[in-house]
């Protein structure tokens, strides 16, 4: 998954330097300020073509950076604010809502590697509910995000199976289930082994080792409805909240009364298939 590193290295904040070179058709008010439609070039080589209000970029405009990046959209007092599209030099693109020069609200990002994200943003980060599609595999993550990282209830959809459960720090945690297209489910739990915990303590690593899947039972397909909760703001996110996010999701398991039992061969295939993809 793209970590936004290429885009974050790109300067996507407009220069605050005074715009010195105007075209003859730049509109001004009685005080001599840029006011209305105008074009200007900044000392650093960036250019702006759009609307002004009291010499500040305000309204619709196009800002081109000297590195090849450019933004087409709305401004408020020299800041990207409202709806806009930002094209990055590496070929990636963001289209959506901006607040005070930050991606904030709903937006869609197409990354340089072809991956896409469509969903909520908060202060430049993926935050809230969103869908991330991996171009190379076609897999899709649908669920919660906190500060740019997969967290909360979600569904990870692959070609012929999917995982439903909770995520924390980008990894599945606690109870969940794998649903296979052949018509069965493998229930279980993602746990961190004692060996992984010991190694982590010895190395004093800040990153948790990837948890391992432990299957418990096979059932027929059951309905699943995620309880979507509003993601906490970065300021509200706390160690306690993170710990709570890792608690197990209670699963009912078992077949529905009155339904015929799943064929033995289907159950065996589901168990085998489940182990083979994990």
Are 152 and 144 contacting, i.e. CB atoms less than 8 angstroms apart? Answer: yes
Do 271 and 157 lie in one domain? The reply is: yes
The pLDDT value given to residue 241: 40
User: 81 lies in which domain range?
Assistant: 17-89
Do 136 and 265 lie in one domain? The reply is: yes
Domain assignment of residue 58, yes or no:
yes
Do 41 and 158 lie in one domain? The reply is: no
What's the domain count of the chain?
Answer: 2
**Two tokens at 28?**
């001004």
List strand residue ranges (DSSP E) for the chain, in order. 21-22, 36-41, 47-53, 56-64, 70-76, 79-87, 93-99, 102-110, 116-122, 125-133, 140-146, 149-157, 161-168, 171-180, 184-191, 212-220
Do 48 and 142 lie in one domain? The reply is: no
Do 143 and 46 lie in one domain? The reply is: no
Domain assignment of residue 102, yes or no:
no
Domain assignment of residue 61, yes or no:
yes
Do 85 and 136 lie in one domain? The reply is: no
Are 24 and 37 contacting, i.e. CB atoms less than 8 angstroms apart? Answer: no
The pLDDT value given to residue 202: 52
Do 265 and 140 lie in one domain? The reply is: yes
- Which residue ranges of the chain lie beneath pLDDT 70? 3-12, 16-24, 193-208, 223-278
Picking from 37, 54, 89, the residue at the C-terminal end of a domain is 89
Domain assignment of residue 169, yes or no:
yes
Do 125 and 66 lie in one domain? The reply is: no
The pLDDT value given to residue 26: 84
- Phi then psi for residue 48, to 5 deg, are -135, 135
Domain assignment of residue 5, yes or no:
no
Do 273 and 235 lie in one domain? The reply is: yes
The pLDDT value given to residue 261: 32
Q: How far is CA 13 from the centre of its chain?
A: 21
Do 122 and 192 lie in one domain? The reply is: yes
Q: How far is CA 155 from the centre of its chain?
A: 14
Instruction: For residue 254, give the H/E element and its range.
Output: none
Sign of CA pseudo-dihedral 54, 69, 62, 126: negative
Do 38 and 78 lie in one domain? The reply is: yes
94-to-7, 81, 104, 109, 136 alpha-carbon distances in Å:
10, 14, 11, 4, 20
Do 126 and 242 lie in one domain? The reply is: yes
């Amino acid at each position: 998954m793209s970590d936004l590193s290429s885009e974050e290295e790109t300067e996507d904040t407009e220069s605050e330097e005074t715009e010195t070179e105007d075209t003859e058709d730049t509109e001004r008010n009685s005080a001599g300020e840029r006011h209305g439609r105008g074009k200007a070039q900044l000392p650093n080589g960036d250019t702006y073509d759009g609307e002004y209000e009291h010499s500040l970029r305000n309204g619709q405009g196009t800002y081109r950076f000297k590195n090849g990046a450019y933004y087409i959209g709305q401004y408020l007092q020299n800041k990207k604010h409202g709806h806009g599209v930002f094209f990055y030099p590496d070929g990636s693109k963001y289209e959506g809502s901006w607040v005070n020069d930050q991606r904030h609200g709903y937006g869609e990002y197409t990354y340089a590697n072809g991956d896409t994200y469509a969903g909520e943003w908060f202060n430049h980060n993926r935050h809230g509910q969103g869908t991330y599609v991996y171009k190379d595999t076609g897999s899709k993550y649908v669920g919660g995000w906190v500060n740019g990282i997969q967290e909360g209830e979600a569904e990870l959809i692959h070609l012929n199976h999917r995982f439903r459960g909770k995520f924390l720090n980008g990894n599945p945690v606690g109870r969940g289930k794998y649903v296979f297209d052949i018509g069965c489910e493998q229930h279980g739990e993602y746990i961190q082994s004692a060996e992984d915990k010991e190694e982590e303590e010895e190395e004093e690593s800040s990153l948790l080792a990837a948890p391992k899947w432990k299957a418990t039972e096979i059932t027929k397909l059951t309905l699943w409805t995620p309880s979507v909760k509003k993601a906490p703001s970065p300021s509200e996110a706390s160690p306690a909240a993170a710990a709570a996010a890792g608690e197990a999701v209670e699963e009912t398991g078992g077949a529905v009364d009155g339904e015929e039992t799943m064929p033995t061969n289907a159950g065996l295939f589901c168990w085998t298939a489940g182990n083979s993809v994990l």
